[in-house]
């Protein structure tokens, strides 16, 4: 597989990616979606959520700033996508931090068939039914496990939910329940910028929207894309601080080309 080709597919097909997402990082989500070559639409009203999903190529559900009204729209959008065979990405932001988040995610995975689930280690451990000490929306240090254990957690949950599972972290892990892909791209400054997780989910939606038949590698490509952009941003302006890093991260995504992507990608598979 030439991972650079996957990027070219996104730019060529320009998939419409419907987001029901939080208001904290939504602007960044829209801009990375445009930056990678897809087209974002954000529509969370129950009166149109299903209609917009039905004309989209992928649906991204993000519970960052959830409320009962949005939750119903997420279910309606997810079901509408399921009915049409459109990929659905779930970002269970902060699950474990409140009963309301836990109940919302439980309803979502009960009613909607996911294509990809992406979270940090605290969120994915919680989803896997393991002890997790979720502290707000950032991964808790006490939840850190070694990379091999994380791989098995992702694989087990992927098998259980019959979808691709991603654990974002120093090493990103992607599993479809069969293969496990370990991605070594990225930089720790990504963890000091709000929304880099949400932006990963938008990129996953963009790649899956263009490549619905291969959600495992579409997801790997999306994670490599964010990791590589983080490395480029760090190399160029990391010394200046978080504001410049934020700007150049968007530069790097919008200027990403197949050759750079291919050359910088660092991942390997196991099972």
Per CB under 8 A, residues contacting its own copies are 16, 18, 22-28, 30-31, 34-35, 39-45, 47-48, 51-52, 55-56, 64-69, 94, 97-101, 135-138, 192-195, 240-244, 246-255
Distance CA 136, CA 122 (A): 10
Among the listed residues 129, 64, 134, 136, the one whose alpha carbon sits nearest the alpha carbon of residue 93: 64
Beta carbon nearer to its own copies, 45 or 83:
45
The nearest distance, CB 251 to its own copies, in angstroms, is: 3
Please report how close the Cβ of residue 268 comes to its own copies at its closest, in angstroms. 29
Rounded to 10°, the helix 196-210/215-237 angle is 140
Nearer to its own copies, 34 or 220 (CB): 34
For the CA atoms of the chain, what is the radius of gyration?
A: 17
**Nearest distance in Å: CB 190, its own copies:** 11
Please, are residues 17 and 209 in contact by the beta-carbon 8 Å criterion? yes
CB of 72 to its own copies, least distance (A): 12
| Shortest reach from residue 243's CB to its own copies, in Å | 3
Task: Identify which of 264, 198, 193 has the alpha carbon closest to the alpha carbon of residue 227.
Answer: 264
Q: Which is nearer to its own copies, 139 or 153 (CB)?
A: 139
- The set of residues, in sequence order, having a beta carbon less than 8 Å from that of 109 and lying 6+ positions away, is 90, 161
For residue 247, with 0-12 CB atoms within 10 Å meaning exposed, 13-18 middle and 19 or more buried, which class applies? middle
Least distance from C-beta 80 to its own copies, angstroms?
12
Q: CA 95, CA 23: separation in Å to the nearest integer? A: 17
Q: Tell me the C-alpha distance between 207 and 186, whole Å.
A: 18
């Amino acid at each position: 597989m030439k991972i650079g080709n996957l990027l070219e597919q996104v730019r060529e097909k320009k998939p419409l990616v419907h987001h029901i997402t939080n208001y904290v990082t939504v602007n960044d989500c829209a801009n990375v979606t445009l930056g990678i070559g897809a087209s974002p639409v954000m529509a969370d009203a129950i009166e149109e959520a299903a209609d917009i999903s039905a004309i989209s190529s992928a649906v991204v559900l993000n519970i960052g700033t959830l409320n009962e009204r949005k939750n119903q729209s997420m279910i309606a959008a997810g079901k509408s996508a399921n009915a049409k065979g459109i990929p659905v990405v779930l970002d269970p932001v902060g699950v474990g931090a409140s009963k309301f988040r836990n109940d919302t995610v439980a309803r979502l995975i009960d009613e909607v068939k996911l294509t990809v689930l992406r979270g940090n280690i605290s969120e994915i451990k919680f989803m896997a039914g393991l002890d997790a000490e979720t502290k707000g929306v950032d991964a808790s240090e006490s939840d850190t496990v070694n990379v091999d254990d994380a791989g098995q957690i992702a694989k087990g949950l992927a098998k259980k939910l019959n979808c691709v599972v991603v654990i974002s972290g120093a090493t990103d892990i992607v599993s479809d329940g069969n293969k496990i892909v370990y991605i070594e791209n990225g930089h720790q400054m990504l963890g000091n910028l709000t929304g880099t997780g949400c932006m990963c989910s938008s990129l996953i939606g963009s790649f899956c929207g263009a490549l619905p038949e291969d959600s495992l590698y579409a997801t790997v490509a999306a994670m490599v894309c964010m990791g590589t952009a983080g490395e480029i941003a760090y190399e160029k302006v990391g010394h200046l601080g978080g504001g410049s890093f934020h700007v150049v991260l968007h530069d790097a995504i919008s200027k990403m080309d197949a050759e750079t992507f291919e050359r910088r990608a660092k991942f390997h598979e196991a099972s």
